Amino acid sequence: PGKKVLIVYAHQEPKSFNGSLLKIAVEELTKQGCSVTVSDLYAMQFEPRATRNDIVGHLHNPEAFNYGVETWEAYKRGGLSKDLVEEQKKVQEADLLIFQFPLFWFSMPAILKGWMDRVLVQGFAYDLSKAYDGGLLQDKLSLFSFTTGGGQEMYSNEGIGGDIRYVLWPMQHGIMHFCGVKVLNPHICYAPERVSEEKRKEMLTAWTQRLKTLWKEEPIDCSPEWYFK
Amino acid sequence: PGKKVLIVYAHQEPKSFNGSLLKIAVEELTKQGCSVTVSDLYAMQFEPRATRNDIVGHLHNPEAFNYGVETWEAYKRGGLSKDLVEEQKKVQEADLLIFQFPLFWFSMPAILKGWMDRVLVQGFAYDLSKAYDGGLLQDKLSLFSFTTGGGQEMYSNEGIGGDIRYVLWPMQHGIMHFCGVKVLNPHICYAPERVSEEKRKEMLTAWTQRLKTLWKEEPIDCSPEWYFK
C-alpha cells in the first residue's frame, strides 16, 4: 500500500492477451492501494529512434554526433526532450517497474527497446563508475511480464529455442541490473494464442494471484548462474 | 565476385567508428566485384514501430489487431507497406546480410530491432512449419558487426558483462537461424571510443583484412553449445 508502480506496456491492441494482463495489473495493484502509472507506448506513439531530436538546443559536439555523449551532457544541463524527461520522472518516482509485452524475436518489441535506449541515459540511470550494484536506480524493483508465440516445450534446454532464461539475460542483467534495479522473477505466459480459452483464463488468474503477494517476493540473484546454470 | 550484399546500418553519424566500418565494407566488397546495397536506417528515418500502418487497405480482423496475423495475411495478398516491401526485396536478392551497429543495452539499437520486427514477417522469412534449418531465407549468410562501449575484459566469463556470446543468442539464433539464414562469426570492435587512435586504425585494418577472405569462411554451428558451451 502506498507503493508506486510504473507499467511500461507495449501492445497495439487493448483487447489482446497482453491488454488483459495490463488491465489485471492496474486493477489488482490499485486495489492494494498502490499508485499505478501506465506508459502505453503505442498509444503514446512513443519514439523509439535515438536521434539528435532528443537533445534540446545546442550539441556538445556538433562536428560528430555521439548519442551517448550528447544525451549525457543534455541530461546534466536539463536539455533532454520533453518526452524523455517525463518518462524519467515516472521511473524516478516508481518503486516497481513492470514491463508488459509480447516477446518479439527473442527480445522486446522495438518500441520498448527504444524506451530503454532513450530513457535510461547516462547520468540518470548509471554513470561512469556507477553501474550494476552501484547503478543509479537502486531501491527499485523490476519485473518482465511477457507472452510468447512458441510453447513452453520449445523454450527449454532440450527445445530449439533454448532455455527461456537465455533471452532474459540482455533485458534483466544487461539493462535492469546494470542500472542497479533489482529483478523479480519474470512472469511468462506461453503461447496464449495457441491454448484453449480455459487455459487462457487460468493464466490470467495466475497473474492476479501472483500480484497479491508480489511485495513479499525476493529479487532473483541476477548473476550468470541464474541464467546459464 | 558477383555476390550481392545488403548492409543494414544503424548509426546516426557518418564520421563515427561505425561509419568507418561501413565505408570499409562498401569499398572492399565493391572492389571484390560484389554488388553492395546499404540500408542506412537513421538516414532513411526507418520506422521501428510495428503498427497497423504496415498493412495497406483492409485488415483481416479489424475487431482485434494482431500484428503477426495481419502482416502474414498482408504479405500473402501483397498488402504490406511500401517501405517493408522494399526491404524484403533487398533481403531476397542478397547472398549476405551484414548488420553494422553499436551495441545498445546488450542488443541492437531500437531502429535496427524495428527492422527485424517489421521486415522479417511470417510468410516471407519463416512459416508455420518452416523455421530454423527449414526457414525461408536459406542459402543466405549473415554477419553481425558491432562496436561495444565496454572493453573486452568486461565481456568474458569472469567479467560482469558475461561472455559476449550470450548477447548474440537472441540476434543470431533467435532471428537469423530462425529464418534459416546461416551465421558467420560476429565481428566485434571493443570500446573504440576508449582506445588510442593507433588501436582504432588497427581495428579498421582488421575488418578490411577479414572481408578479403570472408567468402571462404564457414558458418558457425549456431547451436546452444556455441553460445553457452
Work out whether strand B4-9 and strand B96-102 pair parallel, antiparallel, or are unpaired: parallel
Query: Do B136 and B128 meet the contact criterion of CB atoms below 8 Å apart?
Result: no
B93, amino acid identity: E
State yes or no: pLDDT of B1 exceeds 80: no
Quick check: B174 and A107 CB within 8 A?
A: yes
Q: Do the Cβ atoms of B170 and A105 come within 8 Å?
A: yes
pLDDT at B157: 83
Give the H/E segment covering residue B164: none
The pLDDT of residue A158? 84
CB pairs under 8 A between A and B: 156
CB contact under 8 A, B110 and A110: yes
Nearest by CB: A67 against B12, B50, B162: B12
Helices (H) and strands (E) in chain B, counts: 7, 6
pLDDT of residue A1: 76
Find chain A residues with C-beta within 8 A of B51's C-beta: 12, 42
Counted domains in chain A: 1
Residue B12 has pLDDT above 90, yes or no: yes
- Burial classification of residue B37, based on how many CB atoms lie within 10 Å of its CB (0-12 exposed, 13-18 middle, 19 or more buried): middle
Q: Do A174 and B106 touch (CB under 8 A)?
A: yes
Closest CA to A85 of A112, A49, A58, A123: A123
The alpha-carbon gap from B10 to the nearest alpha carbon of chain A, in Å, equals: 10
Interface pTM, i.e. ipTM: 0.97
> Do residues B183 and B223 touch, judged by C-beta distance below 8 A?
no
Q: B175 falls in which pLDDT band (50, 70, 90)?
A: very high
- Tell me how close the Cα of B61 comes to any Cα of chain A, in angstroms: 12
Q: Over the stretch B203-227, which tens digit does the pLDDT of each residue have? A: 999 999 999 999 999 999 999 999 9
Q: What is the pLDDT of residues B14-64, one digit of tens each?
A: 999 999 999 999 999 999 999 999 999 999 999 999 999 999 999 999 999
Q: What integer best gives the mean pLDDT of chain B?
A: 96
Nearest-by-CA chain B residue for A129? B150
Query: Residue B107 CB: number of other CB atoms within 10 A?
Result: 24
- Select the residue of A49, A64, A120 nearest B111 (Cβ to Cβ): A49
Q: Which three cell numbers stand for residue B45?
A: 528515418
pTM above 0.95, yes or no: yes
Question: How large is the average pLDDT for residues A42-61?
Answer: 97
Check residue A94 and give its pLDDT.
Answer: 98
Using an 8 Å CB-CB cutoff, list chain B residues near A20: none
pLDDT at A48 over 90: yes
Confidence of residue B158 (pLDDT cuts 50, 70, 90): confident
Chain B interface disruption, residue of A128, A164, A228, most B CBs within 10 A: A228
Closest CA to A8 of A140, A138, A130, A134: A140
What is the rounded CA–CA span in Å between residue A197 and residue A201? Answer: 6
pLDDT at B128: 83
Domain residue limits at A73: 4-228
Mean pLDDT calculated for residue range B151-162: 89
Q: Which chain A residue lies closest to B63 (C-alpha atoms)? A: A15
pLDDT band at A52 (very low <50, low <70, confident <90, very high): very high
Q: Region A218-228: what's the mean pLDDT?
A: 95
Share of chain A above pLDDT 90, in %: 94
| 8 A C-beta contact, residue A127 and residue A190 | no
| Mean pLDDT to the nearest integer, A75-94 | 98
Q: H or E segment at B59?
A: none
> d(Cα A53, Cα A82) in Å, to the nearest integer?
10
Answer whether A144's CB lies under 8 Å from A169's CB: no
Q: What is the mean pLDDT of residues B66-87?
A: 98
Closest in A16, A113, A170 to B110, CB measured: A113
Give the pLDDT of residue A128.
83
Helices (H), B77-150: 82-93, 110-119
Percent of chain B with pLDDT over 70: 100
The CATH number of the domain holding residue B9 is: 3.40.50.360
Task: Nearest by CB to B110, from A68, A117, A224: name it.
Answer: A117
Q: Inform me whether the pLDDT recorded for B67 exceeds 80.
A: yes
Answer yes or no: are the C-beta atoms of A97 and B110 closer than 8 Å: no
In this predicted model, what pLDDT tens digit does every residue of A182-221 receive, in sequence order?
A: 999 999 999 999 999 999 999 999 999 999 999 999 999 9
